[in-house]
Structure 1
Amino acid sequence: MLNEINQDAKTRMNKSVEALRQDLTKVRTGRASTALVDGLKVNYYGSDMPLTQVASVAVTDARSLTITPWEKPMVAAVEKAIINSDLGLTPNTAGTVIRINLPALTEERRRELSKVVHATGEDAKVAIRNIRRDANHQIKELLKEKEITEDDVRRAEDDIQKLTDSAIKDVDEVVKAKEQELMAV
């Protein structure tokens, strides 16, 4: 039973770290990435669809993206979605191809994005600590039901704490790497 609790906590903590990595791909670092527009929704004949389902997105060089909608009437809808997003990007349309040039990040903007990265990292740490709390609660429930001894509880809590420390260290490494990527000119 303790192994199952331990395994569950480990799996959930790894998922939290992986979710952090995914969230940080959406933070702009000065070079083009298709992940930048992954979250955009486009009005496709009355329903909101992810941009990747109505157009192809490609990185043409380090500072620009090209978006090619599958259907010609979708060009205006895709353009509108980009303008209305909080990305702060201006699309340039040439026929059926939409180009997005990414301006270089200013020092001030880099610092703002660094704060966003730190906040996202803190959220991941909170999630990991919540997983630790849940696991410790399950262990204490087993003790109440007299299925395990006090010594088992201490050992299990130590194991959970080691997992937590490891996951938080991973979060710190991911945040530090993203911050270095942001601050690189």
Structure 2
Amino acid sequence: MSDDFMLDTDDLERRMDGAMANLRTEFASLRTGRASASMLEPVMVDAYGSMTPINQVGTVNVPEPRMVTINVWDKGLVNKVEKAIRESGLGINPQLNGTIIMLPIPELNEERRRELTKVAGQYAESGRVSVRNIRRDGMDQIKKAKGDGLSEDDQKLWEGEVQEITDRYIKLIDTLLETKQGEIMQV
């Protein structure tokens, strides 16, 4: 039976890719001082009795580097969208123009930039924890197979493979974090 053991490393990598995609989404929501439609992704609006993403109640555009506009489709939701943006913690003051909400993106001051780099660091740590949890699952599968007759040499081989995949993803997270922190601190 020991010869039959095959760890599904593709599954581990697919799950780690999922953790990376989640991290990239979280990073995209962080403001870097330049306008981006993705910064509004985490903002939810109380529309029609349920919490709805902004992009499902209006069209989000970036007409210039320091401006985001939202063309709200339902006139009755304009004030709810404005309220959701004010309460989102993005630090943006919406301006109404009929059904269009304009969001001028202010320059980030030094203190706010440092806060955002800390938040980026927290997101990255959360990503590392996810990757390590997936690594632990792989190691647990190997230990179970050892109990079922996997040889010690094969155990070491599989553990090395799982560690190598984990190290690669942790390094990728560190690189993404460095890049994001560089973007945030760039004036």
Same fold (TM over 0.5): yes
Matched, 1:8 2:16: no
Superposed CA RMSD in Å reads: 1.2
Say if 2:7 and 2:158, in contact at 8 Å, map to a contact too.
no
Shift of 1:83: 1.3
Shift of 1:14: 1.7
Q: Percent identity?
A: 40
Structure 1 gaps, min length 5? none
Shift of 1:4: 4.1
**Runs (4+) off by over 2 Å:** 1-5
Matched, 1:18 2:10: no
Shift of 1:151: 0.8
Say if 2:7 and 2:142, in contact at 8 Å, map to a contact too.
no
Aligned to 1:104, what secondary structure does the other structure show? coil
Query: How many residue pairs end up in the alignment?
Result: 184
Q: Partners in 1 of 2:16 and 2:46 — Cα distance?
A: 36
1:1-185 mapped onto 2 (5 Å cutoff): 3-146=6-149, 148-185=150-187
Say if 1:5 and 1:138, in contact at 8 Å, map to a contact too.
no
Q: Deviation per CA, 1:71-118, whole angstroms, max 9, x where unpaired?
A: 111111111111121112111001111100010000111111111111
Q: Partners in 2 of 1:3 and 1:106 — Cα distance?
A: 53
Q: Partners in 2 of 1:134 and 1:4 — Cα distance?
A: 11
Q: What is the one-letter code of the residue matched to 1:165? A: D
Aligned to 1:39, what secondary structure does the other structure show? coil
TM-score (norm 1): 0.95
TM-score (norm 2): 0.94
Structure 2 gaps, min length 5? none
Q: What is the one-letter code of the residue matched to 1:159? A: E
Q: Partners in 1 of 2:43 and 2:127 — Cα distance?
A: 23
Q: Partners in 2 of 1:22 and 1:36 — Cα distance?
A: 10
